[in-house]
Structure 1
Amino acid sequence: MSGAVVPTIGCGAAGRVAPLQGELTLSFLNRLAARYHLTIRDLLAAVTDVGGLQNLTGMLYPDSEIHLNAQARNRVATLCRVAPHVLERALPAWTREEPCGKYGDGPVGRLTRGEEAVAAWGPACPACAAARTGRRTPARRYLAPEERVCARHQFWLLYVPGTSGLPVPLGRCPEVIEAQQRHVRLLRRSPTGAQAFEVARAVTGFWWESWPDEEELWPDRLEATRADGADANRWKVSARDLITYPETIAIAQVLASPHWQQQTIAEARGHLPYRLGEMPALLDELARQLQRPWVARHLATVTRGPLFVWAHACVRTRLAPRSTARHALWQVHSSHRPRSLSDFLDVQGSRDEAGLPAPQPVKRLRGNSLQAERAFDKGLAHARLYHQQHG
């Protein structure tokens, strides 16, 4: 199929195909191709055709996104019968980049892949998409953290590397829907709500790596949301953000509270804390909000991790009340950020019945070496021993 037939296709019976707000460009093209009874490869060939050659770079995967130059965008606008300014307003990646082609001038497309290469996205709620488009063709949308839940139809919109995403029913987890409502209120009422969420997500991600024996809610939530045919180990890796979401919001509400920031500073009594146990009121509040009485006891001995770093930075805002100190309060060190799911899942490997990739050995962070990690652990052990012996 050549680009010369694009006007002919546009005059066919498919009619107007409108984008969803926040939709990935490639998702929109998938739906457009379906309306013309074409494969996505056929449509891309038409949109990027230059003298019979396909001016397209990159590989096509279920989790890909595409960037188009102005000429290719004009062809798409002709096909879907939607004004370019409407497409630009609805599709975040529509004019994000002007890719260069392999064959000189003409329409160009460039495929990219992965959450890091594009932005955070997930599947569109299937019920919302069907109501909006009148069809049950799957779609993908860019999603802010508070948009991961469709409260109306009770879905968690899960990003899974190497797939087009997975809508997860939440009928057995009303606490997740309630948490999303509290998340929205937090963002509306607190100027630091979004930053507090990122710190809280790092905290729950840190806890996720090793659950204490007392933890009961997360295993129950894992089982309640696991799809039929989904391997338990694969689901545990894929569903991290879903399972920890209510706790993430509870922690974010505490961290964003000016009262608890001041309480943390007051409990420090003018010196930087050595362990979280030096701030018992904060730990008791976290335990109460998380509905886990044992949390305070577990956190009391903590001397590292994102929550400890936040408490440390909070005290420093009083000791050095400058804008840089306030900014540091919401910084999440790269070593504390939750690892990308693509680090844990083999997107090229086999899938279970639910379409989930298999777990793989965790990739080492760039710049980290096993020798450096062992040296750090050894030094930390020496420091703790010295503290026990000499105070």
Structure 2
Amino acid sequence: MSSLIDRVAACYGMEAKALWSCWRWRGSRPRHESGGVRADGEVVLNAAGREVLARLCGVGQEVLGRALPSWGREGAKFPAGEGGEGGEPLAVWRAGGAVVGPVAFGCRLCAARRTGAAVRVLRYAPRWERVCVRHGRWQLDADADQPHEYLDLRGLPEVAAAQRRWAGVARRAVRAGVGPEEVFALAHAVVARWWEGAYGWEREELWPRRLHQIAGGNAGDDLEWWRIVGRDAVIFPEVVTVADSLLDPVMAQRVWADSGGERPRPLPADGKFCRRLGARVGREWLGPLIAVEGGGPLIAWIGAVVRLRRSPEKQPGPNVRFEENLWWVRQEHQPSTMAVQLRVLSREKKMPGSGTNWRAVVPAEQRFVITNLLGEAEEQLQQLHGAQVGVTAEVARSLLEGLSRGTDLLDQVLLRVMAAAVNAGVGVDEVARWARLSAEEAAEVLRVTVAAEDQ
């Protein structure tokens, strides 16, 4: 709606800010952490505000309601009594994704062809509608802090073909009584998880080729940045294929057979379902890797298929529990958006370690040792409660020995946490400051710790 206000102002020969005075504004325009204005900023008007805009446009509110997805979506941004008709015209800035749904850049070439003006265009568009087939472009999310509006797909015809195939998959989902958006969300989560683990796929060839193609031929030193920006475009063909596979009753039957049917057994590494799914996405070797994956949205879907087969009375319905919903994607399985990943990458560059997750970068065995040492130290210090009773010498001995032992355990924890932080990419200077040591002392302590572990 903000772009409409700007265009109306231009028609009147006014600056947009001059026209904005027709409304009383709440809040400020959404911005990125870097301070730049977010492209997906959206304006929400109350009833009186919408009436003002309709008069300025000379168009009925019904027409504007059909043309503007955000029309009438007030939410809880206006206090009670200020959202109705006859009140003061109010406007509030919000992020577009929080108003209607994902916001993407539109194709400037298509806009120029239709309007004669090559201006920036924004549109509410789900990820299965991001390809401009005419000009071979993937339109990127508009909420991310990055300079590109699109990715060039002219050398990747399979991406445009996948968008055409999606129409058939969506129809199949509707016939199955499932929302196409639910199927896409699950398939996208599955393939995005594969994408994160693809670094270890020695036989993977398709994704690296596509990624370098959209990066202009070679991602170079910005590989990690391009992996974030290009992910959705690169994996889109596989997402559509996986969505189609998950809707296929034959694939569900393969899951049932692999699970042992009425006689449960662990999912085999050479199971029919995983082998067939790998073949469908053009990777015959992928099946065993899928089968041994711990957790994840695909394993959750497989579990739901098996549970529903064994308990037919729990078939999906309006009151189905989450774990019995084939298409429910748990929060921890939902892939991060491009905007979130770029923010994490930016923080990581400013201060190493600030953008990573401790559990993701510190091995489980190290975390286990740290937890055990902390538990021992806590237990040791708890034994000193009530120790200040008795003969002076005995009390002093008990306290000092207990404190010495507890301090020794805490020192071990300190050293292991310091080493884990540095290995995870946190700067030595930061680690030293947090541990209340000089940089030289911290470096020496870490050197001794590493040498002791190597022996």
Q: Deviations over 1:70-97 (max 9, x none)?
A: 2222222233332211110111111011
Q: Secondary structure at the match of 1:210?
A: helix
Q: Distance in 2 between matches of 1:232 and 1:35?
A: 44
Give yes or no for the alignment of 1:332 onto 2:329.
Answer: yes
Give yes or no for the alignment of 1:210 onto 2:197.
Answer: yes
Please, what TM-score do these two structures have when normalized by structure 2?
A: 0.65
Percent same amino acid among aligned pairs?
A: 30
Q: Distance in 2 between matches of 1:378 and 1:275?
A: 28
Q: Deviations over 1:6-32 (max 9, x none)?
A: xxxxxxxxxxxxxxxxxxx22333444
Question: Cα RMSD over matched residues?
Answer: 3.6
CA contact (8 A) 1:310 1:330 kept: yes
Q: Distance in 1 between matches of 2:173 and 2:123?
A: 26
Structure 1: state its 5+ residue gaps. 1-24, 49-53, 351-358, 380-391
Question: What is the deviation of 1:330?
Answer: 1.1
Specify which structure has the bigger relative contact order, considering alpha-carbon pairs within 8 angstroms and separated by 6 or more residues.
1
Q: Deviations over 1:34-66 (max 9, x none)?
A: 5555554343x2331xxxxx4332324322111
User: Which among 234, 237, 242 is matched to residue 228 of structure 2?
Assistant: 237
- Could you say if the C-alpha distance between residues 157 and 39 of structure 1 is closer, same or farther in structure 2, counting changes exceeding 3 Å? farther
Match of 1:181 in 2: 164
Question: What is the deviation of 1:173?
Answer: 0.8
- Could you say if the C-alpha distance between residues 83 and 165 of structure 1 is closer, same or farther in structure 2, counting changes exceeding 3 Å? farther
Q: Distance in 1 between matches of 2:147 and 2:50?
A: 23
After TM superposition, list the pairs within 5 Å mapping 1:295-310 onto structure 2: 295-310=286-301
Q: Distance in 2 between matches of 1:273 and 1:175?
A: 38
Question: What is the deviation of 1:301?
Answer: 2.1
Letter in 2 for 1:189: R
Give yes or no for the alignment of 1:73 onto 2:56.
Answer: no
Q: Distance in 1 between matches of 2:104 and 2:278?
A: 31
Greater strand proportion? 1
Alignment: residue pair count: 337
CA contact (8 A) 2:308 2:324 kept: no
CA contact (8 A) 2:245 2:251 kept: yes
Letter in 2 for 1:29: I
Q: Deviations over 1:274-300 (max 9, x none)?
A: 34526x211221122111121113223
Match of 1:294 in 2: 285
- Could you say if the C-alpha distance between residues 267 and 232 of structure 1 is closer, same or farther in structure 2, counting changes exceeding 3 Å? closer
Q: Distance in 2 between matches of 1:347 and 1:376?
A: 24
Question: What is the deviation of 1:329?
Answer: 1.3
Question: What is the deviation of 1:168?
Answer: 2.1
Q: Deviations over 1:181-228 (max 9, x none)?
A: 111111013333443221111111111212122222111111111259
- Could you say if the C-alpha distance between residues 371 and 207 of structure 1 is closer, same or farther in structure 2, counting changes exceeding 3 Å? closer
Match of 1:282 in 2: 273
CA contact (8 A) 1:345 1:360 kept: no
CA contact (8 A) 1:112 1:118 kept: no
Structure 2: state its 5+ residue gaps. 31-36, 370-455
Q: Distance in 2 between matches of 1:128 and 1:273?
A: 54
Give yes or no for the alignment of 1:63 onto 2:50.
Answer: no
CA contact (8 A) 1:149 1:157 kept: yes
